[in-house]
Amino acid sequence: MTPILILTRPTAQSESFAAEVVAQWDGELRIIQSPLIEIVPLPARCDAPDAVIFTSANGVAAAGRFNLPNGLKAWCVGEKTAQLATANGFLPITGPGDADRLVAAIISAKPIGTLAHIRGVHARGEITDRLNASGLTCEDVIAYDQKELPLTEEAKNVLAALNPVLFPLFSPRTATILNKRGPFAAPVHVIAMSDAVKNAVTEGLAIRTITAKKPDHAAMVDATLEMLSTQFGRS
């Protein structure tokens, strides 16, 4: 039986993830791209901050519209976001992989000046409010929306059958959208990026859910390979 992996992030991010899983998986693997959100740019301004905060790759991509100076300091939620920030001319400070610990790191560092959190409409963690409450100065720059998308016909077809389907889920919002699309006939296995993602999955949607050891890209690749190995007996 060929494992089926449905990827729900925007296509560019899913392709990068899929390439790493395929490179390390010894066996057949059917990958279906079925993004559940579409990134839609919104009118926004980002007026000369002293540093920026990125909690997703989409925030880094959106920052390209603001003509920010090369070498601007960027607080990044994790390693993958920091790598993307570097490629786009920022000077990153790599965070621990989740928003709560990133906020704690920023507060501990006590940066001087104005911070700008470049983010989407749907965000968790109340980062700006918590930083301002700590005495720092932070502004929200809501640069894009995350529009809900339906499952593709290919994804619907496999979910209506009886072969196991694996879903790596990277955000509580994606989990919430997937809940709306279910329940499914196929046995669903979820790989959650964090406890927050796991907790957002409706009871009964998946027959098994595991959580990555760290809330970052590399740990999600490892957890997906672990689920594939457990379910299909190879590695």
Answer yes or no: do 65 and 24 share one domain: no
Q: 151-182 pLDDT, tens per residue?
A: 999 999 999 999 999 999 999 999 999 999 99
Q: What is the DSSP letter of 69?
A: P
Q: 199-208 pLDDT, tens per residue?
A: 999 999 999 9
Compute the average pLDDT of residues 114-128: 93
Residue 26 CA, distance from chain mean position: 26
Question: Cα torsion at 17, 195, 107, 64 (round to 10°)?
Answer: 30
Tell me which residue range forms the domain holding 48.
39-146
Residue 56 burial (C-beta neighbours within 10 Å; 0-12, 13-18, 19+): buried
Answer yes or no: do 55 and 108 share one domain: yes
Compute the average pLDDT of residues 107-120: 97
- pLDDT at site 234: 57
Answer yes or no: do 130 and 185 share one domain: no
Boundary (domain end) residue, out of 97, 125, 146: 146
Say if residues 127 and 136 touch (Cβ distance below 8 Å).
no
Boundary (domain end) residue, out of 118, 146, 174: 146
- pLDDT at site 98: 85
Percentage of the residues of the chain whose pLDDT score is greater than 70: 99
Answer yes or no: do 166 and 128 share one domain: no
- Asked if residue 61 has pLDDT above 60, the reply is yes
How many domains, in total, are found in the chain?
2
Answer yes or no: do 14 and 66 share one domain: no
Boundary (domain end) residue, out of 88, 113, 146: 146
State phi, psi for 220 to the nearest 5 degrees.
-70, -40
Q: Tell which residue, 151, 134, 141, 138, has the closest CA to residue 119.
A: 141
Strands of the sheet containing 91-94, edge to edge, are 37-41, 137-148, 114-120, 51-54, 73-76, 91-94
Tokens for 162, please give them. Answer: 């009886």
CATH code of the domain containing 169: 3.40.50.10090
Answer yes or no: do 175 and 108 share one domain: no
State phi, psi for 79 to the nearest 5 degrees.
-65, -45
Q: Using alpha carbons, list the distances in angstroms from residue 58 to 76, 145, 219.
A: 12, 10, 20
CA angle 95, 100, 101 (to 5 degrees): 40
3-state secondary structure of 73: strand
